[in-house]
């Protein structure tokens, strides 16, 4: 068998829209309190896209930063992959809108995946496969979501959680340019929980009608308690798979980057895998839940703060609609 190619993250970037929505702003919109939101979720504020700013716009901003970080331009991109659950429209792919807005060459393949908050890790594995096979030299992988567009602003159980943002990676098999080496990924999905976190309206099962609009079917719905339980089970399981397959334990890992859905979930996962909170990256207080973008935003912010040093092992782990889960193992280069 041919030797496997090494896969590198060459550049990383993220983007949060300017507008900030605080807990006290939400107190004026629904029956909630700053105290409830902070105690139950750890969230203090979140960023919300401007009117007219759609998912592909957020994606393009993150992509520009990742390309600059990789010292590349749009002309160097061979394939665009986008992970999102709030596409600009049901079709065509949001990746095609990104291609158009970023000015990437017209023969560049573009595709989107909808795997909820696990988007960034799923994209790393898909990119690795394309690079391994030699289909392309550089993949622009973007996870972006404008959740505010599908948020029911009358539903206090979800609107206090959700936010907008984007993160992007440039992946390559060219060793000399790596920021981090991708050592392993673990992907999973459990469709038995598909209805626990979904947007029922707008697809073939429930097309848009006056009734579907009146019934508020075009907003994100979540069974929070069930999702909470499964998030703990599946994110813990994904990390354990990465540990087992690579013969490592929590003590070998420098940083964990969990999906930023709830500070209580983040702390419970750390406890389950026996890792102190100093090793866990958390940005949820200022970002809220940015869905597929959350891991990349947390990763990028830790990178800009200079927290990683050469040789550090980093484990991102996620959970989201599907219900999908995923984890990865990276070695920081610099
Ligand atoms: O990114 C995808 C993955 N998503 C997640 O991982 C989210 C997982 N779930 C969660 O993070 C939590 O379940 C929530 C934050 C959504 C909810 O927290 P909880 O501790 O599970 O609360 P709960 O749903 O059990 O509700 C407790 C109480 C209820 O009142 P009663 O029935 O006890 O009187 C709710 O009506 O809190 C009430 N409540 C609120 N109160 C004030 C729910 N939302 C709010 C709110 N403000 N915003």
Q: How confident is the model at residue 40 (pLDDT cuts 50, 70, 90)?
A: very high
Q: How confident is the model at residue 96 (pLDDT cuts 50, 70, 90)?
A: very high
- Ligand 1 geometric centre to CA of 323 (Å): 18
- Give the mean model confidence (pLDDT) for residues 95-120: 96
Segments making up each domain of the chain, as ranges: 7-179, 182-332
Tell me, what's the pLDDT at 2? 58
With 70 as the cut, is the pLDDT of residue 1 above it? Answer: no
Tell me, what's the pLDDT at 175? 74
- Ligand 1 geometric centre to CA of 225 (Å): 7
Q: Show the tokens assigned to 229.
A: 């339980």
With 80 as the cut, is the pLDDT of residue 129 above it? Answer: yes
Average pLDDT, the chain: 96
Do 182-332 and 7-179 fall under one CATH topology?
yes
Q: How confident is the model at residue 106 (pLDDT cuts 50, 70, 90)?
A: confident
Tell me, what's the pLDDT at 123? 98
Q: Which CATH architecture has domain 182-332?
A: 3-Layer(aba) Sandwich (3.40)
With 60 as the cut, is the pLDDT of residue 230 above it? Answer: yes
Known active-site residue 289: yes
Please choose from 189, 199, 228, 293 the residue to mutate so as to test ligand 1's pocket, defined by most ligand atoms within 8 A of CB.
228
Tell me, what's the pLDDT at 178? 80
- Ligand 1 geometric centre to CA of 281 (Å): 23
Known active-site residue 303: no
Q: What is the CATH number of domain 7-179?
A: 3.40.47.10
Tell me, what's the pLDDT at 4? 74
Tell me, what's the pLDDT at 174? 85
Distance CA 161, CA 150 (A): 12
Least confident among 65-79, 123-137, 164-178, 247-261: 164-178
- Give the mean model confidence (pLDDT) for residues 167-187: 92
- Give the mean model confidence (pLDDT) for residues 309-320: 97
- Give the mean model confidence (pLDDT) for residues 120-138: 95
pLDDT tens string 241-265: 999 999 999 999 999 999 999 999 9
pTM of the predicted model as reported, rounded to 2 decimal places: 0.96
Catalytically annotated residue among 108, 259, 262, 303? 259
With 90 as the cut, is the pLDDT of residue 219 above it? Answer: yes
């Amino acid at each position: 068998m041919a030797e496997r190619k090494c896969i590198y993250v060459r550049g990383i970037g993220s983007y949060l829209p300017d507008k900030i929505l605080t807990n006290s702003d939400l107190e004026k919109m629904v029956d909630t309190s700053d105290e409830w939101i902070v105690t139950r979720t750890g969230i203090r504020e979140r960023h919300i896209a401007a009117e007219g700013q759609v998912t592909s716009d957020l994606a393009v901003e993150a992509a520009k930063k990742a390309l600059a970080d990789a010292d590349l331009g749009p002309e160097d991109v061979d394939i665009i992959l986008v992970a999102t659950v709030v596409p600009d429209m049901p079709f065509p792919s949001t990746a095609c809108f990104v291609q158009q807005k970023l000015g990437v060459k017209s023969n560049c393949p573009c595709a989107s995946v909808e795997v909820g908050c696990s988007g960034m890790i799923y994209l790393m594995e898909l990119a690795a496969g394309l690079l391994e096979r030699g289909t392309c030299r550089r993949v622009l992988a973007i996870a972006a979501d404008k959740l505010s567009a599908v948020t029911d602003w009358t539903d206090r159980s979800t609107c206090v959680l959700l936010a907008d943002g984007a993160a992007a990676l440039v992946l390559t098999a060219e060793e000399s340019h790596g920021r981090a080496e991708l050592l392993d990924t673990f992907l999973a999905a459990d469709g038995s929980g598909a209805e626990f976190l979904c947007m029922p309206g707008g697809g073939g099962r429930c097309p848009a009608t006056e009734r579907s609009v009146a019934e508020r079917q075009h907003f994100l719905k979540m069974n929070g308690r069930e999702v909470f339980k499964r998030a703990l089970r599946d994110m813990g399981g994904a990390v354990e798979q990465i540990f087992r397959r690579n013969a490592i334990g929590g003590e070998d890992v420098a940083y964990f980057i969990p999906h930023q859905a709830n500070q209580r979930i983040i702390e419970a996962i750390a406890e389950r895998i026996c890792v102190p909170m100093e090793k866990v990256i958390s940005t949820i207080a200022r970002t809220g839940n940015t869905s597929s973008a959350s891991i990349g935003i947390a990763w990028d912010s830790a990178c800009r703060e200079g927290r990683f040093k050469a040789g550090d092992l980093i484990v991102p782990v996620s959970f989201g609609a599907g219900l999908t889960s995923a984890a990865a193992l990276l070695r920081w280069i610099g």
